Structure formats: structure tokens, C-alpha cells
Chain A
Amino acid sequence: MPRITRSKLWRTPYSLCAIVLIALLPSPASVRAAAEDPSSSMFSLSGFGTLGVVHSSEHDADFTSTIFKPNGAGYSHDWSPDVDSLIGAQVNANFSPHLSAMVQVISEQTYDNNYRPHVEWANIKYELTPDASVRVGRTVLASFLVSDTRNIGYANPWVRPPVEVYSLVPIDSSDGIDASYKWHIGDLVQTFVGTYGATTSTQPTGGNAEARRQWNISDTLEYGAATLRIAYQRANLTLDGLHTFFGAFRQFGPQGNLLADKYDPYRKPLEFIGIGAMYNPRDWFVTGEWGTSQFHSVLGESTAWYASGGYRLAKFTPYLTYGALKANSNVSDPGLTVSALPPYLTGPAMGLNAGLNAILGSIAIQRTTSAGLRWDFMKNVDLKLQYDHTGLGAGSPGTLINLQPGFQRGGTVNLFSAAIDFLW
């Protein structure tokens, strides 16, 4: 497994940082220690999980929850347990009132179709004051309103966050540093978070996705039950699988170079802007998010939004969601001018043009209406049922994967999901 070894090596500097940090820090005068719960131990273990199944009406393609999963419901499985199921465990360590650490490990379907656990987050946190902290290690990369709880079904009203918006930026962790500062203006609480780092992930289609010099800034305003959040994110993204493909264009002179420069996802900027709001008093909620992502490459530009609301009736919370995802960039390109090429090159050029247009044409365009029900049937456990009706944009496969020859683009897909979320 050379790939795993390499990525482990690459992460070593952070664990070194952590050890150095612990060694260097003086044990702070424990003004707070006396006030804190004397019975609470230094280490605590907690966890969460979801057991879910999904059925899709589309048998010639798979529905799944993120691009990092190799298959899902529809073509590969009539009822797929892999779309939403996961289990996570977390150890928190409180070394002093100022210094703490956490490690969160999650087991879910991976790019190579097994459930090998991976380290989702692992970081050391230093609190300068109760309202200002710095974390070093692998932290959440919070592009969206519920990025923090994407994996914790129990904390969300739906079976999964609406895919229209949450597929815009599929990464949710960053190896590096983040800083958080919170302040109060009357009853208004404002939290500013800045994150800087890098993320490497392996895709089911082969090759790594590497986001370097990745930074994210967000500001969250909370007033009573109301939350408003705005985030901006930027990174340099390389998809090495596609980089090889666009290398072939460079064999075709200046025109090929121009096309490769435009589309090759090799160290190309990725930008994202997201705005989210939620109002969540005791008996109901309304929430919505809008986001736009620009990959300055063949991955194109997309804009998405959703609005959702629910009403709590004792232990039942029925909810409705509407989400839309559209492409702002071109979905086809004439490519290399085949007529200008010598006959022996027309075949390869046509092949490259077809490949380019297959990628451009696969950008996700879709609209989904969802209706669901959450039932808090016992302590720390809920059951959710959700029905999604998705209309795919003309010529688009939407967010579906594993497209089979019989698949019709631009059709409609109905999904039925059932999930049990728990905390332990």
C-alpha cells in the first residue's frame, strides 16, 4: 500500500508539532481547574453512527452521498447500506484548562469499497482565552453551515445534508492550522474562524485529489435561535488522474496547449463562497444555504441552494426540502480542430475531444424535492425516513455515478432512504 504509507509520512510533521507543543508549553496556573468538574477525567470517549439503506428508481446509475464513494443505490445495489452508514469514535483529552486534543476515527465506505477506518480529525487545541483558540493538526474544513456535523446524523434534521449544495465542495477536513475568535455585541455572538492547510484524498475513479495552500475564512453570527454564516474558501487543486489525460493534448501544438492550460486541473485555483442561515426555535426550524464554487478547470463552475423547514410534533419532526444545482460554465467544447490535422492524428484527436466533452457534459445539474420524517423514538437514537424526487438537468447525469449504457440523462430519479442515527 505505497499510497497510504506516503500520505502517512506526509502527515508526520503535524504529530511532531503536537509533541513539540506539549513539551514546550508550561503548565498554566490553574485558575479554572479548581472551578471545573473535579470528577471529569482527562480522557473521554464518545461516538456516533448511522445505519441507513437507500433505494433508487434508477437502475442504470448509482446514487451516493459523496464523490469519494465508489458505488451506491440503483445500479450496484437495489438497497444500498453504503450511502449513509457509518460509525465514528472520538477520544478527547484535556491536559489542562488551556490544552486539549482530539482524535476522531470514522469507518464508512471508502473509495476502494471497504470500511477501513480513517482518521477524520486529529488535532491539538490551545485556548488562549475562553473565546480564542488555535488548533494544529487535522481539523474540520467548514465550507458549509453543517460541515461540522456532516457525519453526525443525529445532529441533523435530514438523512443527509442536501446533496445539491454539499456536493459543491466535497472535502471536509484540512491538515494544518485553524484559529477561532468569538466575541459578543450585546446578545449577538460572533465567531470568526480561519483555517489554513492542505488536503489529499483518493478518488474511486483513480488518482489523488490534492488541495494545497487551502484557506477558509468564515464568520458566524448567532442571535438566540437564529444563525447566519458566511464563508470564503480558496485552494490550489490538482486531480492527478485528469492531469495525465490533459497531458495528451499538449502533443497537439499550440491549440492543444491552450486547451490543456484552460482545462487541466493541475494546481488550478478553486474558489468557494457560501452563505447559510438557520432559525431553530424549540418547535420548528427553517434553514437555507446558497453557495457557488469555481474550479478554474474542466470541473467548471456551479451554483446551488436549498431551503428546508420542519415542524416538531412531540417526538416527530416532519420536514420538507427543495434544492437546486446548476452549472455556470460551458458543458461542451469544440476541442482540437480535427480537419487541420494530418490523417494519422485525426483518430487520437477525436478520442481526446470525446473525452473532454464527456467530462464537461457530466457536470451535475439537478433539482430535488424531499419530504421526510424524523422520529426521536428513544434517548440518543432517532429514526428517519426520507423520499427524494430529483429532476436531472437536460443532458446531465446529475450527481449520479457509475452510468450504464442504458442510462438516460435528463430524466427523473426517486429515492427512498431510511436511517437510524445514534450517539454512544
Chain B
Amino acid sequence: MTLINRIRLVAIGLALSLSSAVVKADVVAVVSTKSPITALSRSQVADIFLGKRSGFPNGVQAFPVDQAEGSAVRDEFYSKVVGKTAAQIKAYWSKILFTGRGRPPPTVSNNLEMKKRISDNPAAVGYIDRNVVDDSVRVVF
């Protein structure tokens, strides 16, 4: 194996691991930098997104915002943080919607929209890929 080939292989390997790092990017829960909330537990985040908890621990009402159905970041969030598959979440909300007990959170179409929505509203809570976090939002989980 020539040196050139070896370098090529390493480069391909690096590219592959980088791209898989992008695909598996961590999802983080975020609030506005104007929010007094600095940290939430996994179960607090899960309960807010499942409508089981209406407020932050400080008593202020929380407004969860979802990413689009079928998006990778949404599936990742529900799988890792809430512990449910996309179909289970759909079934969960159909239960609540069809008895008139509540509605699922409103949705935004991507990370950028989410950051815009979150940074504007101190009561909102959302989730984005960790690698797109900037100073418009604060990671709370």
C-alpha cells in the first residue's frame, strides 16, 4: 500500500466519522437567554413536552415548541430525552387530543426557526442540534 493510498484511506475514514458525527449530533433542550431558567432535569423536559407539566420549576408557565414531524432532530429528542418513538408520541397525543384534554406543542420547520422562536420568547422551550447552538439560546439540558 502506497503512502498516497494510506493518506486517502485516512481521509475517507475521517470524512466518514465526521459525517456520522453530524448525523448522530446530540440534541439539546434550549430556552431564551432572557429566561431565568439555567438547567432542567431530563424528566422535567420530558414532562413539559408531554404536557404533564405546564410550568418551569420556578412556577412560570412553559411553552414547548416542537420540530417538524419526521425530522431527525425531533425523533432523536423523543427517543433520547422522552424515551418514545415517533409513532408512540403520535399515539400519545392522539389520546389527549381526541378527549379534548390538550393539544400537542406547535411546530417549527428547522433549527434556525427554532432558535428564532426561542430567542424571542422567554417562556418558550425547544430543542436543537448541539452543533447549531449559539448565543441566542441557552442550553438547559
Q: Which residues of A contact B (CB under 8 A)?
A: 32, 34-37, 39-40, 44, 46, 48, 88, 90, 92, 94, 100, 102, 104, 121, 123, 125, 129-131, 135, 139-140, 148-149, 151-152, 154-155, 180, 182, 184, 187, 189, 222, 224-225, 280-282, 312, 315, 376, 379-380, 382, 423
Contacts and interface: CB of A to CB of B under 8 A. Distances in A.
A131 B94 contact: no
Contacts of A88: 98
Nearest to B61: A130
B124 interface: yes
Contacts of A130: 54-55, 61
Interface string B83-101: 1110110111011011111
24 contacts: A32-B61, A35-B123, A37-B65, A39-B106, A40-B106, A48-B94, A92-B103, A100-B100, A102-B100, A130-B54, A131-B54, A139-B100, A148-B95, A148-B99, A152-B94, A152-B95, A152-B98, A154-B91, A154-B94, A155-B95, A155-B98, A187-B41, A189-B52, A225-B83
Nearest to A140: B99
B125 to A, nearest CB: 11
B94 A92 contact: no
- Listed from nearest, the 7 A-B pairs whose CB atoms lie closest are A37-B106, A130-B54, A102-B100, A148-B99, A155-B91, A376-B87, A282-B83
Chain B: number of interface residues, binned into ranges? 35 or more
A328 B92 CA distance: 36
Nearest to A285: B88
Contacts of A224: 43, 46, 83
B95 A187 contact: no
A111 to B, nearest CB: 23
A423 B95 CA distance: 11
A149 B91 CA distance: 10
A224 B94 CA distance: 19
A121 B53 contact: no
B71 interface: no
B136 interface: no
Contact of A135 (B46, B92, B95, B100): B100
Nearest to B122: A35
Contacts of A152: 94-95, 98
A175 B43 CA distance: 36
A423 B100 contact: no
A37 B126 CA distance: 13
Nearest to A44: B103
Nearest to A378: B87
Nearest to A38: B106
A154 B47 CA distance: 22
A376 B98 CA distance: 20
Contact of A222 (B52, B54, B61, B87): B52
Interface in B48-93: 52-55, 61, 63, 65, 69-70, 79, 83-85, 87-88, 90-92
A135 B44 CA distance: 27
Contacts of B100: 92, 100, 102, 104, 121, 123, 125, 135, 139
